[in-house]
Amino acid sequence: MELGDSGRRLGVLISGRGSNLQSIIDAIASGRLDAAIAIVISNRADAAGLQRARDAGIPTLCLSHKDYATREECDRAVVAALRAHGVDLVCLAGFMRIFSSEMLEAYPQRILNVHPSLLPAFPGLHPHRQAIEYGVKCSGATVHLVDGALDGGPIVVQATVPVKDDDTEETLAARILAEEHRIYPEAIRLVLDGGWSVRGRRFVQRSV
């Protein structure tokens, strides 16, 4: 392993565009986040985010679930790749797959996800559409630790945005995405810095 940053090595998992990956790359480059991305793994060969990683000189890997008989087998391959690259913290950034216990047990309280709603409202698919159809007046972004539940797990950071009367899924998504890009690096820093614990469902700082 050529990178330093022992204990601060990230593995970022993507499925598509990779703008959240880019926000992590940029936060590291600007010194706002003291970490190193050891590997970017995509479950799709055509994920645009893979090029962002290559442009930043980060090793990439494509592991498609289609090449594995079971979810567990696929997860074992992902875990093996993460371990081979010395990954300490796994960051899901638009990764559209659900993990088996293989992954959760390999990285307990060491997997983060970003979701474009104020969880626990609107988990799962089409959260922007869900928010508009429900009629909420504010929505936002959530970074949370990953446990077995869909978009569940203790909340590390949230940010709110207004939902405007003339919002479409696209305009709301753009407003929320700007907040995702702001809070994801911040949440990664909090988790890497330590001094936190999980009490019940709550992610709490030592000083609390």
* Binding stretches for ligand GRF (CB under 6 A): 14, 16-20, 49, 93-94, 114-116, 177, 180
Helices (H), the chain: 19-29, 49-55, 71-84, 101-106, 127-134, 169-193
- Rank residues 19 and 171 by Cβ distance to ligand GRF and give the closer one: 19
User: Is 128:141 a contact under the CB 8 Å cutoff?
Assistant: no
- Rank residues 86 and 152 by Cβ distance to ligand GRF and give the closer one: 152
Q: How far apart are CA 16 and CA 201, in angstroms?
A: 30
Helix (H, G, I), strand (E, B) or coil at 40: strand
Is 115 among the residues known to form the active site? yes
Q: How far is the CB of 160 from ligand GRF (least distance, A)?
A: 15
- Rank residues 107 and 184 by Cβ distance to ligand GRF and give the closer one: 184
Q: How far is the CB of 25 from ligand GRF (least distance, A)?
A: 11
Other CB atoms within a 10 A radius of the CB of residue 178 amount to: 13
Tell how strand 155-162 and strand 89-92 pair up: unpaired
What residue is closest to ligand GRF based on CB?
Answer: 94
- If residue 168 lies in a helix (H) or strand (E), which one and from where to where? none
Tell how strand 9-14 and strand 36-42 pair up: parallel
Q: How far apart are CA 176 and CA 117, in angstroms?
A: 8
- Rank residues 94 and 153 by Cβ distance to ligand GRF and give the closer one: 94
Q: How far is the CB of 136 from ligand GRF (least distance, A)?
A: 17
Q: How far apart are CA 144 and CA 151, in angstroms?
A: 8
Q: How far is the CB of 134 from ligand GRF (least distance, A)?
A: 18
Q: Which is catalytic among the residues 85, 115, 144, 181? A: 115
Residues tagged active-site: 115
